[in-house]
Amino acid sequence: MEIKEIKFSQIASQRIYSDYMKRVKKVTNSLSKEDQNDIFMEFNSHIYESLQHKNDGNEIDLLLDIIERLGTPEEVLKPLVADKKLVQATKTFNPVHVFKALVLNFTNGISYVFFFLLYLLLFAFVVLIFAKIINPSEVGMFMQNKSIIAMGYVKTDDNGNAREVLGNWFIPFTLLCILVFYLLITVLLKFKKSIDKKRK
């Protein structure tokens, strides 16, 4: 669906309007096309309707008053973009969207910082995979006396009689752990989002 921009009689008014709407587009460009269009249409229709109700006066002054009441897109849209990005992230399970959503929501509570740290912890599993490829004898899941003592890097001369139990299966096992924990954390994030929505 194509959104029609408002046409103004004065060039200065058109420029002010176009610059403002470009800022709206820039702030929302990390969202889905549908969300971008919804927000753009909402701002566009608000400006149009406000102009229709105030026929008297200078076009530029009217437009500047409307824009001032709407506020700067960078400030006004920040919580809305953060919220919509979080919805998009929990629907798609896309790691890029999840990362962007958490960064945008840092100011919305300590729980989002906690979720960010949980996702960051998953990166440690990726590092373990590369470490296993580089140094297979010192990276893995180590057992001693029939109990797991470490999963990761263990210096061979310090591990006593500990032995690595997964061998070549360590990489597939670690990939499976990454997938399971990623899905689990994202489901928890989705659950947290639904709880927040009910409180509002």
Tens digit of each residue's pLDDT (9 = 90 or more) over 157-177: 555 577 777 888 888 988 998
pLDDT: is 163 or 43 the higher one?
Answer: 43
Cβ atoms 41, 3 nearer than 8 A: yes
| CA 10 from centre of chain | 40
Query: Is a pLDDT exceeding 90 seen at residue 156?
Result: no
* Torsions phi, psi for 9 (to 5 deg): -80, -30
Helices 33-53 & 59-70, crossing angle to 10 degrees?
A: 130
Query: Among residues 90, 91, 84, 81, which one has the least CA distance to residue 26?
Result: 81
pLDDT of residue 25: 92
pLDDT of residue 22: 93
Tell me what percent of the residues of the chain surpass a pLDDT of 70: 90
Tell me what percent of the residues of the chain surpass a pLDDT of 90: 9
Residues pairing with 154 in the sheet: none
Cβ atoms 189, 108 nearer than 8 A: no
Non-local (6+) Cβ contacts of 84 within 8 A are: 31, 35
**CA-angle at 35, arms to 31 and 37, nearest 5°:** 115
Query: Is a pLDDT exceeding 80 seen at residue 29?
Result: yes
Model confidence at 129, pLDDT cuts 50, 70, 90, reads confident
- Alpha-carbon distance 71 to 161, whole Å? 67
Write the Ramachandran bin of 72: left for phi over 0, alpha for psi from -120 to 50, otherwise beta.
Answer: beta
Model confidence at 55, pLDDT cuts 50, 70, 90, reads low
pLDDT: is 103 or 44 the higher one?
Answer: 44
Please state whether the predicted TM-score (pTM) of the whole model is above 0.75. no
pLDDT: is 198 or 4 the higher one?
Answer: 4
Model confidence at 87, pLDDT cuts 50, 70, 90, reads confident
- Alpha-carbon distance 183 to 12, whole Å? 51
Tokens found for residue 130:
């590369």
Tokens found for residue 66:
């409307």
pLDDT: is 160 or 178 the higher one?
Answer: 178
Non-local (6+) Cβ contacts of 170 within 8 A are: 132, 139, 140, 141, 164
- Alpha-carbon distance 79 to 95, whole Å? 20
CB atoms within 10 A of CB 72: 13
Query: Among residues 144, 181, 184, 192, which one has the least CA distance to residue 164?
Result: 144
